[in-house]
A and B are shown apart, each in its own frame.
Chain A
Amino acid sequence: MQLERPQTRTYGQPEGLLHLEKHTAEAGATQRAPRSVSIPQNTGDRIFSLLTMGFAASVLAALGLMLGILFYQGWLSIHTNGFSFITGTTWAPAANLYGAAPSILGTLYTSALALILAGIVGVFVSIFLTEIAPLRIRFTLGLLVELLGAVPSIVYGLWAFLVLVPIVRQYIQPPLVDHFGNTPFFSGYPLGLGIFTATLILAVMILPTIAAISRDVIAAVPNQQREAMLALGATRWETTWKVIIPYARSGIIGALLLGLGRAVGETMAVTMVIGNNQSISPSLFGLSTTMPATIVNQFTEATGALYRSSLIEIALILMGVTVILNAAARLLVWSVTRKFKV
Chain B
Amino acid sequence: MGEPVKADAVSAWYGKRLAIRDVTMSIEPNKVTAIIGPSGCGKSTFLRSINRMHEVIPGARVGGDIWVGTENVYGDGVDPVKIRAHIGMVFQRPNPFPTMSIYDNVAAGPRLSGSIKKRAQLDALVEESLRQSALWDEVKDRLKDPATGLSGGQQQRLCIARALAMKPGVILLDEPSSALDPIASFKIEELLNDLKGEYTVVIVTHNMQQAARIADFTAFMLAGSDFVGELVEKDATGQIFSNPRDKRTEDYISGRFG
Knowing A6-B213, A225-B95 touch, does A1 contact B253 (C-beta < 8 A)?
yes
Q: Does B181 contact A (CB under 8 A)?
A: yes
Knowing A225-B97, A231-B51, A233-B113 touch, does A24 contact B181 (C-beta < 8 A)?
yes
Q: Does A32 contact B (CB under 8 A)?
A: no
Residue of A at shortest CB range from B59?
A: A135
Pairwise interchain contact A231-B183, C-beta atoms closer than 8 A: no
Pairwise interchain contact A232-B108, C-beta atoms closer than 8 A: yes
Q: Does B84 contact A (CB under 8 A)?
A: yes
Residue of B at shortest CB range from A232?
A: B109
Knowing A3-B241, A234-B112 touch, does A228 contact B91 (C-beta < 8 A)?
yes
Nearest Cβ distance between residue A219 and chain B, in whole angstroms?
A: 14
Once the chains are docked, how many angstroms separate the CA of A133 from the CA of B141?
Answer: 43
Indicate with 1 or 0, residue by residue over A237-249, a CB within 8 angstroms of chain B CB atoms.
0100011001101
Q: Which residues 236-258 of B have a CB within 8 angstroms of A?
A: 237-238, 241-242, 253-254
Knowing A4-B209, A9-B190 touch, does A341 contact B148 (C-beta < 8 A)?
yes
Q: Does A116 contact B (CB under 8 A)?
A: no
Residue of A at shortest CB range from B237?
A: A3
Which residue of the partner chain, among A17, A25, A226, A232, contacts B162 with CB atoms under 8 Å?
A232
Knowing A3-B238, A21-B151 touch, does A249 contact B99 (C-beta < 8 A)?
yes
Q: Does B224 contact A (CB under 8 A)?
A: no
Nearest Cβ distance between residue B199 and chain A, in whole angstroms?
A: 15
Q: Does B60 contact A (CB under 8 A)?
A: no
Nearest Cβ distance between residue B81 and chain A, in whole angstroms?
A: 5
Pairwise interchain contact B89-A342, C-beta atoms closer than 8 A: no
Indicate with 1 or 0, residue by residue over A5-16, a CB within 8 angstroms of chain B CB atoms.
110010101000
Measured between beta carbons, the chain A residues less than 8 angstroms from B187 are 13
Once the chains are docked, how many angstroms separate the CA of A342 from the CA of B100?
Answer: 11
Q: Does A134 contact B (CB under 8 A)?
A: yes
Q: Does A31 contact B (CB under 8 A)?
A: no
Q: Does A179 contact B (CB under 8 A)?
A: no
Nearest Cβ distance between residue A279 and chain B, in whole angstroms?
A: 45
Count A interface residues, CB 8 Å. 39
Q: Does A224 contact B (CB under 8 A)?
A: yes
Measured between beta carbons, the chain A residues less than 8 angstroms from B213 are 3-6
Which residue of the partner chain, among A224, A242, A339, contacts B108 with CB atoms under 8 Å?
A242
Once the chains are docked, how many angstroms separate the CA of A224 from the CA of B53?
Answer: 12
Q: Which residues 1-51 of A have a CB within 8 angstroms of B?
A: 1, 3-6, 9, 11, 13, 17, 20-22, 24-25
Q: Does B56 contact A (CB under 8 A)?
A: yes
Knowing A21-B181, A134-B58, A224-B95 touch, does A233 contact B81 (C-beta < 8 A)?
yes
Pairwise interchain contact B212-A4, C-beta atoms closer than 8 A: yes
Once the chains are docked, how many angstroms separate the CA of A233 from the CA of B85?
Answer: 4
Pairwise interchain contact B241-A233, C-beta atoms closer than 8 A: no
Which residue of the partner chain, among B84, B85, B146, B253, contacts A339 with CB atoms under 8 Å?
B146
Pairwise interchain contact B99-A340, C-beta atoms closer than 8 A: yes
Q: Does B142 contact A (CB under 8 A)?
A: no
Q: Which 10 A-B pairs have the closest CB atoms?
A: A233-B85, A25-B151, A231-B89, A224-B95, A246-B99, A232-B109, A228-B95, A233-B84, A340-B99, A1-B241
B interface residues, Cβ below 8 angstroms from A? 51, 53, 56, 58, 81-86, 88-89, 91, 93, 95-101, 108-109, 112-113, 134, 146, 148, 150-154, 159, 162-163, 166, 181, 183-184, 187, 190, 193, 209, 212-214, 237-238, 241-242, 253-254
A-B contacts besides A229-B108, A230-B84, 6 pairs, CB < 8 Å: A4-B213, A5-B212, A22-B151, A230-B56, A232-B163, A233-B82
A selection of 19 A-B contacts at a CB cut-off of 8 Å is A1-B212, A3-B213, A3-B238, A4-B209, A13-B187, A17-B183, A21-B151, A21-B154, A21-B184, A24-B151, A25-B150, A228-B95, A230-B53, A231-B89, A232-B85, A232-B166, A233-B85, A233-B166, A247-B99
